[in-house]
Structure 1
Amino acid sequence: MKFSDILRTAIHALRGNWMRSVLTSLGVIIGIAAVIVMVSVGQGTQAEIDKMVAGLGSQRLDISPGAGRGQGGARMSGSSFYTLTEGDVDAIRDEIPEVQYVAGALRGSTQVVYAENNWSTSWQGVQPDFFDINGWTIAEGEAFDAQDYSAAAKGVILGDTVRRELFGEDSGVGQTIRIGRVPFVVTGTLAAKGQGGFGQDQDDVMMVPLQTARRRLLGAMGLPPGAVMQVALTVADADDLGYAQGEVEALLRQRHRIGPGKEDDFSVRNISEIVATRTATTRLMSLLLGAVASISLIVGGIGIMNIMLVSVTERIREIGLRMAVGAGPTDVRRQFLAEAMLLSLIGGALGIVIGIAGALLVARFGDLPVALNGQVIALAAGFSIATGLFFGYYPARKASQLDPIEALRSQ
């Protein structure tokens, strides 16, 4: 038989009981749609997390003071908690050549006022490398110069949200604002970054020189002289990050006179480890979602096999007649395999359409990120074809092995 004859015969057989054909295809439709939606959600989530951790920097270390509790759970004093100093920053810069940028920082929150506009925001007291470490660029105005840092100048650089709340569409550069009770001159504004990976507004911030923050904004916090609340650094080569971390820890233990076996009074966070952990977790989640969705596809394939076996049983006499007029086992096998393939392909096509629509609806109305790509759709189409071939072969083979005489005797 020609391929066109086999196809025409298969279509005629499926149309003869179209409701059963539709219900049989439903399992494949649901399976393919589930694969597309689940895998798209998994890949979208992974892309979102990759974007979030990329903003943290894969060549960066963050150093924070210790846990702030002494032995027996007694809380340490404020002066003993802030164990990092500007001297530590200078030592890291001078003694560890792998470090590209390093900066200490102080931080706090306050009210900022310009004319009748009032806004509550956070401030950062920074050193020069802070902007390079965190990827901040100046949108308008100028960055701080060396004299601003050394003389504790009352200049401030505004994040985009603060600028918008105080000045609307104007830059505000050159204007005088009041931070707490202290007047500051706006020397520049930062380019907008938008929402951070944890949902925070990255632009709701102000930058002042570190010494300015220490003398004019900290108030009565009781920090030791020269203390900083955080130290951040980057290395030029990501391969040096692990080595640099070990060197930093050894240097700080030496400077802080921490003996062997004693607990560190600081903690070092390696961003690249967070990146690797989150990436592995998301990839595993994507595989899990795909596996769960594939179960629906297997169930749909079993449904096709079941219906095709029923069809063989119902059409034993028809098979006997075909063989009696010259059809061989190969022709019979191809006919039933074509019917199974048609069921699978029709279900696959409808499943792809429904899956794409479902993924788009999740992206539009749900809180989950979705990443649709052609590879997922091609994979779904391949699964559809494989389902028809795999689950349709056994019924087709069983039909081709029937004895023509016994088949004609069947009632």
Structure 2
Amino acid sequence: MKLSKKFEELIIKQLESFGCSMGVTHLVMYLASTEQGTKASFEMIGQWPQIDRLLVSVEDDPSLKVSSPNRRWYPLQENDILLGVLRVETDLKEGNWPVSLDSRLKALSLSLAKCVSIELERQNKNEEINYLKSQVNVIIHQLRNPLAALRTYAKLLIKRLGSDVDSIEIVERMIIEQKQINNYMDSFAQLNSPIQLPLDIGEERLLLPPNLDNKKLITVQSLLRPILERGQANANLENRDWTEPSLWPDWTLSPLKAKYAVIAEIVANLLENAFKYAHKDAEIGVAIMSKGLCIFDDGKKITKIENEKIFQKGFRGSAAKKKDGTGVGLFLARKLAKQIGGELRLLENSSINDVEELKSFKKKNIFYLELPIKELHS
């Protein structure tokens, strides 16, 4: 087993902290080592005091083949697995070991065994992570070829469609979606690079790829446009009414700071829920307000009891009982909204009156994403 430098330093510190105690003159820690086709051995990995001495195994140290009353061995054991041993040498006369010394050495051996167990677990996790990264790399490589082929076939189809404008528009949207999948591939490719985990997000993955290029100009309109086109396509397929903004106020057209790209994820998540849970003939849409966005549906009204619970992680409302899902979407959407200084809530009749533009907006379920308008722009 190849040990990390931090692990070796920790072992030395543990041995040093016990040194010069109650007649102890030498502490040596060995790790059990086995290779396929060979018998088990115990390799020295640390000692106190640190003298100029080769780190030899138990089997290769002739002095250990002679028993001594001043030497004892303490197993480093995790459950039924022997991980190593601790060798203790003393200057005690006639091997008269105090009970208190024996107890302390047993405690030290338990502590060392736990250190070894944690190090082994860390190494196993690293091996798993490296394997998964390797597999992700292979999958990305394999996916890029069929994705490129889909784009090629789509372009060929556009040529054959000639003047069929409506059909060409559908194929062009397919090309846009193919480009979006390529963005996902780019995101996955970054997994093999050192990353800094976002501490304020939690363990949930993002539903959309991040803004990979911080220098790329983005606006609220550019973020929402592909999502709205997808919503229109879904509405057409399900033969339901769809409403989207016709006028875009100035705050939606001004360049955004890169961190606000998550607005697209929040909206996409809310629309996905609406299409999944609203009944088949319910209208769905997006509206722009002076201080944020509304994602609404005219389906069955979410009950007052469930109004806040739907934002709890893992909670699934009555409309979702027979549908696939994990109950994470709204929890994450609100978390992202708060992360960028905004707020996401499901409006009740009383709170609708708090937003001037919504007083005449008669829809069953209205999710209001309030945004820090002044802070949005570069």
TM-score (norm 1): 0.22
Higher RCO, Cα 8 Å, sep 6+: 1
Higher normalized helix content (fraction of residues):
1
Structure index of larger Rg:
1
